[in-house]
Amino acid sequence: MARGIKDKVAILGMGCTKFGERWDKDADQLMVEAYEEAITDAGIETSQIDAAWLGAAFDAVNIGPSGIPLSMALRLKNIGVTKVENYCASGTESFRGAVYAVASGAADIALAMGVEKLKDTGYGGLPVRTRGTTHDMIGITGSAPGNFAQLASAYRAEHGVSKDDLKQAMAHVSVKSHANGAKNPKAHLQKEVSMETVLNAPMIAEPLGLFDCCGVSDGAACAIVTTPEIARALGKTDIITVKALQVATSNGWELQGSGWNGAYFPTTRIAATRAYEEAGITDPRSQISLMEVHDCFSITELVTMEDLHISKEGEGWRDVLDGFFDADGTLPCQIDGGLKCFGHPIGASGLRMIYENYLQLLGRAGPRQRSTPPVFGLSHNLGGMPNQNVCAIAIVGMADA
Amino acid sequence: MTGIIAYGAYVPRTRLQRAAVHAANSWFAPGLKGLAKGERAIANWDEDAITMAVEAGRDCLNNVDRTQLASVMLASTSLPFVDRQNAGVVKEALNLPDAIATLDVTGSQRAGTSSLLSALQAVAGGSGPILHLAAEKRQALPASEAEMVQGDAASALLVGSENPIARLVGHHGVATDFVDHFRASGQAFDYGWETRWIRDEGIGKILGGAIRDALIKFGLDGSAIDRLIVPITTRGVAEGLARAAGIAPAAIVDALAATVGESGAAHATLMLAHALESAKPGERILVTSFGQGADILLFEVTEAIAGAKPLSGVSGWLARRREESNYLKYLSLRGLLALDRGMRAEQDHKVALTALYRNRKAVLGLVGGRCSKTGTVQFPKTDISVNPNDHAIRTQEDYPLAELPARILTYTADSLTYSPDPPSCYGSIEFEGGGRMMAEFADIEPDAIEVGAALRMMFRIKAVDEKRDFKRYFWKAAPAG
């Protein structure tokens, strides 16, 4: 593979707003809120930022097109600002832009911002969007839950798991995220729920009930990145570096080709393999300390455990039920509540995941801090739908790990 | 020898129970009680005269070489487009060659039989085979008699000169502006006159006279008629006509009143398609129809009848049946009841007509691609093959998928997305021999869906652009049974 960017880029500072129904704030105000925390954490001035990337997915109902909204909101010094959109992976995409700019030497300090203001759309759930002139003529008009729910039917058929067993495992995913979110003051949902509540919730898209689905939130998250050398020169001692950053994008094979069983994400498997190689990780199940994955729906998190090569194929549901991914389990997943409870402002989510890993690595996660010192934090950010998607994986860790 | 060489039909799966209609409306129209028996076929929200004609056409063209057709005729008084040729859409959906004639025929309840006669005359004059379609999605006001007695259906008759299963023996027609009912351009509902006047002065005298004159013209007694088709479901009408013409009561063909309902311009040919299923060589079938005059066509069944079998036929479609007793649901799916549809129904379904034309084979004909190098089948057809081991460039040939069996790979029943008939069921499907797509499911029970279930494709309305009054058509997957 290419030489990779392992340890070439350090995170200088990060910030994240409270996610939720932010009726009082516009998208530009949310960006400022996340930025204030990040720039304070970084200990630099705005004028020191050389380049910026903005991730947002719903421009028509959000902040509008181009990089201008970010430049205006933060009053950046006429630097280059690029807006990126890659469905729900837009947050990690903005991070990739900033990280690559630093890794290439084109920028000393770069900023990544992700934001979404979904509660101004009026929808419960994501708004209905066009997918382009030609696709709209032949594609389905489904919802996000409907697209992802199909993973469950395929998973059951492929691995011979009963409807009840899978529903129990899916419910465990949601119960765990609620328990974790309850300890997170920035989370959108901070209330624990019981298995019974999850199992008996109204059906959204068979077999996904209300509690199998993450909601939609307003929020922003921000990262400021630089080289480890500059970070040290700026006085940082606990340096968190990027160990791997990989994106894999569907080329149409899943749906148009044959061979895919519909029960997994080929892109995640590919991106994970490349990310572990870039980071020098040989046994992810034992080496990864923490995971933030794209749990847009409970079933997504469950199959992702297999796609990330953590659980054996067809056995992710057993690991889930065994508590392997619980906050006090072997490999906590969504220790901050995940998309399910921290919330899912589309463009911000990828950066929010990295933010949690960053806090945990620095021991700054408060009541939800993992007691075992984390070494590698993996974030998995997914855009699109099972049969056509973008998978972005970022692994961060201590510079000397 | 000119005649019918193949036949088919389509009856929608949903059957509205007339007792349920009466129960909902009896407070307002108690007089409808006498009609509150049996059931009527109702087109789903995503069906219309075009989609039903397509299904009837496919039913008829079973084992027929489609490249041999010279023309497609579509008769209906409920065509979705006034100015966009409806038969042209059907032609694309049937994936017929561009070098073909197409024609819409409308304006009267006789449109089905008059156009059938025209098709037979064209064939006699040297035309190649003509696919004659008649389809009707009847719109009636709630609590009306029409709502009780009418039904939705389509018929298909392939007319030609080679080896007909029923040859045309003779025909007779009269035209007279007897206005029993009318519907002005742009109006949704009929306005009708008194039933007894229509029965006695119209049907009795005009149609009855035409039958009598036709038999004289053919040189036949009424007793020579083995089957009499009268596409009128009013009780006693067919019997009265038969008696007056000396035709045996046993010859009267079931008007499908209890199962389908009267399907307007499609009904005479629907009944004919049904009669042909059990017709024996040598039988004489007298087809009649009434509407600002009358048409009479006499057919004689030939030995070739034994070899002609539609895919489902009227009987097959009648057996594919689901009872509906929810009158409010019927009203809503019919556009007669405004429910709060929510924000998700606000999606703009504007169609780029340029893109529709460019992609018409894929969108209307469900034609995919097959790589001439590797044999990989895919939908849609693209410049570069999806085969992961050989992304061959520009090797794909047209590959029709609509008639191929398929099976369910993944599915869901989605209660969040907007559908006029929730939950919206859809999933990825795979065609026999390769090729996949995400498809909406039609005529399916959410509880009955399973991975691996067998499917057949059906041409349906995908969405309606309500701002511009345009319909978007595409293919959906329905249970194979």
In chain A, what residues touch B448 (CB-CB under 8 Å)?
none
Q: Nearest CB to A138: which of B378, B380, B382?
A: B380
Residue pair A158/A346 in contact (Cβ under 8 Å)? The answer is: no
The verdict on A137 touching B (C-beta cutoff 8 Å) is yes
**CA-based nearest residue in chain A for residue B419:** A141
- Convert the pLDDT of each residue in A140-183 to its tens digit: 989 999 999 999 999 999 999 999 999 999 999 999 999 999 99
pLDDT over 90 at A131, yes or no: no
Domains of chain A as residue ranges with CATH? 9-120+218-234 (3.40.47.10), 143-213+240-396 (3.40.47.10)
Residue B396 forms beta bridges with which residues? B371
Q: Nearest CB to A137: which of B386, B416, B474?
A: B474
Residue B218 forms beta bridges with which residues? none
What is the rounded average pLDDT of the residues A308-323? 98
Angle, to 10 degrees, between the axis of helix B267-278 and the axis of helix B111-124? 60
Residue with tokens 């579509």: B74
Residue pair B32/B60 in contact (Cβ under 8 Å)? The answer is: no
In chain A, what residues touch B462 (CB-CB under 8 Å)?
137
Give the B window 452-471 contacts with A, CB below 8 Å: 452, 462-463
What is the DSSP code string of B298-364? EEEE-GGGGG---SSHHHHHHHS-EEE--HHHHHHHTT-S-----GGGG------HHHHHHTHHHHH
**Inter-chain residue contact A122 with B410, CB threshold 8 Å:** no
What is the rounded average pLDDT of the residues A238-255? 97
Counting as low any pLDDT under 50, the low residues of chain B are none
Mean pLDDT of chain A: 96
How far off is chain A from B363, nearest CA to CA, in Å? 6
The verdict on B374 touching A (C-beta cutoff 8 Å) is no
HEC string for B352-393: CHHHHHHCHHHHHHCEEEEECCCCCEECCCCCECCCCCCCCE
Backbone torsions φ then ψ of B41, nearest 5 degrees: -80, 135
ipTM of the complex: 0.94
How far off is chain B from A59, nearest CA to CA, in Å? 16
CB A32: neighbour CB atoms within 10 A? 18
Q: Number of CB pairs < 8 Å for A and B?
A: 133
- Convert the pLDDT of each residue in A13-47 to its tens digit: 999 999 999 999 999 999 999 999 999 999 999 99
Give the B window 324-363 contacts with A, CB below 8 Å: 343-344, 346-349, 351-352, 355-356, 359, 362-363
Question: With b meaning 16 or more CB within 10 Å and e meaning fewer, what string describes B165-199?
Answer: bbbbebbbbeeeebebeeeeeeeeebeeeeeeebb
pLDDT over 70 at A50, yes or no: yes
pLDDT over 90 at A373, yes or no: no
A178 is catalytic: no
The verdict on A267 touching B (C-beta cutoff 8 Å) is no
pLDDT over 90 at A256, yes or no: yes
Q: What is the pLDDT of residue A58?
A: 87
pLDDT over 80 at A61, yes or no: no
pLDDT over 90 at A59, yes or no: no
Distance CA A47, CA A240 (A): 23
Show the tokens assigned to A284: 């992810």
The verdict on A201 touching B (C-beta cutoff 8 Å) is no
The verdict on B474 touching A (C-beta cutoff 8 Å) is yes
Q: Nearest CB to B428: which of A143, A149, A255?
A: A255
**Omega before residue B423 within 30° of 0, cis:** yes
Residue with tokens 């041999």: B68
Q: Nearest CB to B410: which of A130, A134, A150?
A: A150
Residue pair B229/B286 in contact (Cβ under 8 Å)? The answer is: yes
Residue pair A295/A213 in contact (Cβ under 8 Å)? The answer is: no
A380 is catalytic: no
How far off is chain B from A131, nearest CA to CA, in Å? 11
Identify the band that residue A127 occupies on the pLDDT scale cut at 50, 70 and 90. Answer: confident
Q: What is the pLDDT of residue A130?
A: 85
Distance CA B362, CA A181 (A): 47
Give the B window 384-413 contacts with A, CB below 8 Å: 386-388, 409-413
Residue A341 Cα to chain centre, angstroms: 13
Residue pair B367/B459 in contact (Cβ under 8 Å)? The answer is: no
Q: How many helices (H) and strands (E) does chain A have?
A: 15, 11
Rounded alpha-carbon distances, angstroms, from residue B427 to A88, B410, B449, B454, B481 = 21, 5, 10, 13, 18
**Percentage, residues of chain A above pLDDT 70:** 99
Q: What is the pLDDT of residue A60?
A: 65
**Inter-chain residue contact A253 with B386, CB threshold 8 Å:** yes
**CA-based nearest residue in chain A for residue B474:** A138
Residue pair B456/B62 in contact (Cβ under 8 Å)? The answer is: no
Distance CA A33, CA A94 (A): 18
Domains of chain B as residue ranges with CATH? 3-334 (3.40.47.10), 343-366+401-479 (2.40.50)
What is the DSSP code string of A286-318? HH--EEE---SBHHHHHHHHHHTTSSPTT-HHH
In chain A, what residues touch B387 (CB-CB under 8 Å)?
257
Helices (H), B167-260: 195-197, 208-218, 237-245
Q: What is the pLDDT of residue B225?
A: 98
CB B462: neighbour CB atoms within 10 A? 22
The verdict on B179 touching A (C-beta cutoff 8 Å) is no
Distance CA A198, CA A176 (A): 11
How far off is chain A from B350, nearest CA to CA, in Å? 9
Distance CA B378, CA B432 (A): 12
- Convert the pLDDT of each residue in A67-124 to its tens digit: 999 999 999 999 999 999 999 999 999 999 999 999 999 999 999 999 999 999 888 8
